[in-house]
Amino acid sequence: MASQIVDLIGSADRSMVPPQLSAKVPQVVRFENVGLRYGMGAEILRDITFAIEPQSFQFLTGPSGAGKTTLLRLILLALKPTRGFIKLFERDVTTLRKGEITAIRRRIGVVFQDFRLLDHLTTYENVALPLRVMGRGETTYRAEVVELLRWVGLGERMHVLPPVLSGGEKQRAAIARALIVRPELLLADEPTGNVDPHLARRLLRLFIELHKSGTSVVIATHDLGLMDQFEGARRLVLGDGRLHIYD
Amino acid sequence: MMTETADTLEPSVEALPARLKRDMPLVPASSIAGRALIIVIAIMTFLAALTAGAAMLIAGASQGWRESVSREITVQVRPTPGRDLEAEAQKAADIVGAVPEVAEARVFTKAESEHLLEPWLGTGLDLGELPVPRLIVVKLKEGAPPPDLPALRKALVDKVPGVSLDDHRQWLARLGVMANTIVVVAAVIFALVIIAMAFAVAFATRGAMAGNREIIDVLHFVGAEDRYIASEFRRHFLRLGLEGGGLGAALAIATFMLAGAVSSWWAATPSGDQLEALFGSFLLNWRGYAVIAFIGASIGMVTGSMSRAIVFRHLHNLS
Ligand SMILES: Nc1ncnc2c1ncn2[C@@H]1O[C@H](COP(=O)(O)OP(=O)(O)O)[C@@H](O)[C@H]1O
Ligand SMILES: [Mg+2]
């Protein structure tokens, strides 16, 4: 399994499947006229309509405070829209039962802006967490986790608790935790916000490899330099609560 | 510094690090006010076990008492002018002794009767001149059904004037009511203690959930079911409950053992006799100790299941 991940992500010659435009292809995410306000405040997001296709790659961008994190939280089902319609993996999210929400979350990998690593668990345990909560035995995933940790350059930091890790190391641990289940959709919130430009470039490469292996990737960032490194990527730009799409 | 991604792609799974920590609880033990909860549970278990043990002692003593007393009947023959009390008493004893259910009917001798009255009248009195009634102590056969008392009473009254028969029924009934009241009071105290403890566990669980909000969120995002998260909490609370329940039960057992030892030492003294007559000895039998151990263990289990249920319900209502 681990070698599969690494093989898939690593094989450069794997041909990228072109985004399908046919309506028959099941979409990963679909928003229709979605609006959101926090409490009684003004609408942060207004009439948001877009879709995320399988095996696609997009940057979600816009100035700080534009609502990028909020949009990702809507996809994660951590927020309910105040109006509009959201579909995840072709399911209307308002009809999902508790168990189905869990099942959908297992198909999504998330890298939070503030990492959200559990401070009392080692790096190894943090990265293994999604497999552990599925009820898998530790021996069944050990090799897989260790291999991924080595691959993101944390092989020597396995025993360490997150508070001891540097910003870049935490970033990579958070990314490894999102990748370990080979998600169909990867959401990353400012994944290069805490690292130097060199590491940022390497992390972007990692996401691109993941995308080539078949995962839909959404990277929220306001780093224009980062986006310039992948010219072909789709851009979803938030401004004044509205979304503008540049394919 | 990290090397280029492509360079590290070589499959390089060597032997895994030996000291890899891999089974830390997902909810850290330090985030739960564990020691305080153990102490509360231990005290509550101790009180509950003490109440239950005391109730068992009293129920047991009153049972034994009632059994021995209900196997006795007292016949009283009052002196009537112009009749020989001695002969009358013997006649009554013979009539009672003829009943098949009766094991023994013994007339208290004059001397014995005087001895009985000593505490009230003092020693050295000649009671010969006083009209002191004579008592016949009737012991019933063990395990036999009670005799037909109205018939026996009628037969006695017909033959022996001034006779009365007391089967202690009223007295037994009062004793039974008293013992039952004590047991009911004990059950109420027991229930109150358990309810108070349940509240303590509920507060502690809520506190633990609030303190681990972030962890619960992360567990949800990585795909943990509510059931799974709830059992992570149960792990801790089961352990705390078993420790507290075990400690409380052990203290209660030690207390009863000590009380038993003290009372058997005391039994050797004259006043101890009376105490023992009233309460039996303070010795709890093995069933009593087993009940206390069972209370301790159940409290541990219930603590675990209860916090699991609270967490599960709370998470369920959250969505
Ligand atoms: N929990 C919240 N309650 C109220 N307002 C919020 C909350 N989270 C974000 N906001 C507001 O919503 C807007 C968008 O925030 P966010 O989605 O974090 O933007 P971005 O990630 O693009 O910087 C901001 O004005 C922010 O102040
Ligand atoms: Mg943000």
Residue A31 confidence (pLDDT): 96
Residue B19: closest C-alpha in chain A? A159
Q: Looking at A44-53, B142-151, B266-275, which range is the least confident one?
A: B266-275
Q: pLDDT tens across B204-239, in order? A: 999 999 999 999 999 999 999 999 999 999 989 999
HSE-up of residue A242 (Cα within 13 Å, Cβ side): 4
Residue B7 confidence (pLDDT): 39
Cα-trace Rg, chain A:
18
Write down the domain spans for chain A: 2-246
Which of B24, B216, B220, B221 is best to mutate for the A interface (most A CBs within 10 A)? B221
| CA A65 to centroid of ligand 1, rounded, Å | 6
Of B8, B22, B223, the CB nearest to A150: B8
pLDDT at B188 exceeding the cut of 60: yes
| CA A190 to centroid of ligand 2, rounded, Å | 7
How many other C-beta atoms lie within 10 A of the C-beta of residue B251?
18
CATH superfamily of this structure's domain A2-246:
P-loop containing nucleotide triphosphate hydrolases (3.40.50.300)
Query: Cα–Cα distance between A222 and A64 in angstroms, integer?
Result: 7
The band of A130, judged by pLDDT with boundaries at 50, 70 and 90, is very high
For chain B, the average pLDDT equals 82
Residue A14 confidence (pLDDT): 39
Residue type, A115: F
Is A159's CB within 8 Å of B214's CB?
A: no
Q: Average of pLDDT values for A205-233?
A: 90
Please check whether residue B237 is in contact with residue B205, taking contact to mean a CB–CB distance below 8 angstroms: yes
> What is the number of the ligand 1 atom nearest to the C-alpha of A72?
17
pLDDT at B252 exceeding the cut of 80: yes
User: What are the residues whose beta carbons fall under 8 Å from the beta carbon of A101, sequence distance 6 or more?
Assistant: A77, B319
> What is the number of the ligand 1 atom nearest to the C-alpha of A71?
17
Q: pLDDT tens across B20-59, in order? A: 666 788 888 777 778 899 999 999 999 999 999 988 888 8
Q: pLDDT tens across B83-136, in order? A: 787 888 888 888 888 888 888 888 887 777 777 777 777 666 666 667 778 888
pLDDT at B296 exceeding the cut of 80: yes
Q: How far is B17 from chain A (nearest CA, A)?
A: 9
Residue type, A90: E
* Beta strand A83-88 pairing with A91-92: antiparallel
| CA A56 to centroid of ligand 1, rounded, Å | 26
Pocket test for ligand 1, best of A34, A37, A38 (most atoms within 8 A of CB): A38
Q: Which parts of B108-162 are beta strand (E)?
A: 134-140
Q: How far is A33 from chain B (nearest CA, A)?
A: 23
Ligand 1, atom 24: nearest CA belongs to which residue? Answer: A65
| CA A190 to centroid of ligand 1, rounded, Å | 14
Q: Which parts of B167-292 are beta strand (E)?
A: none
pLDDT at A85 exceeding the cut of 60: yes
Residue B4: closest C-alpha in chain A? A202
Of B5, B30, B214, the CB nearest to A202: B5
Please check whether residue B140 is in contact with residue B146, taking contact to mean a CB–CB distance below 8 angstroms: yes
Q: What percent of chain A has pLDDT over 90?
A: 69
**Run of H or E including A83:** strand A83-88
Beta bridge partners of B108: none
Could you give phi then psi for residue A159, rounded to 5 degrees? Answer: -85, -5
Residue B28 confidence (pLDDT): 82
pLDDT at B1 exceeding the cut of 60: no
Contact residues, chain B, for A147 at CB < 8 Å = 11-13
| CA A241 to centroid of ligand 2, rounded, Å | 14
3-class DSSP state for residue B140?
strand
Q: Average of pLDDT values for B278-299?
A: 82
Q: Please report, for residues B74, B154, B165, the alpha-carbon distance to residue B159 in angstroms, rounded to integers and kept in the order given.
A: 17, 9, 13
Write down the domain spans for chain B: 2-66+173-318, 79-161
Residues near ligand 1 (Cβ within 6 A)? A 38, 44, 62, 64-70
The band of B307, judged by pLDDT with boundaries at 50, 70 and 90, is very high
Residue B192 confidence (pLDDT): 94
Residue type, B282: F
HSE-up of residue B200 (Cα within 13 Å, Cβ side): 26
How many other C-beta atoms lie within 10 A of the C-beta of residue B187?
13
Q: Average of pLDDT values for B199-208?
A: 93
Q: Please report, for residues B27, B204, B206, B237, the alpha-carbon distance to residue B210 in angstroms, rounded to integers and kept in the order given.
A: 12, 10, 6, 15
Q: How far is A96 from chain B (nearest CA, A)?
A: 11
For chain A, the average pLDDT equals 88
Residue type, A195: V
pLDDT at A16 exceeding the cut of 50: no
Is B21's CB within 8 Å of A202's CB?
A: no
Contact residues, chain A, for B13 at CB < 8 Å = 2, 143, 146-147
User: Which one is predicted more confidently, B303 or A14?
Assistant: B303
Residue B185 confidence (pLDDT): 93
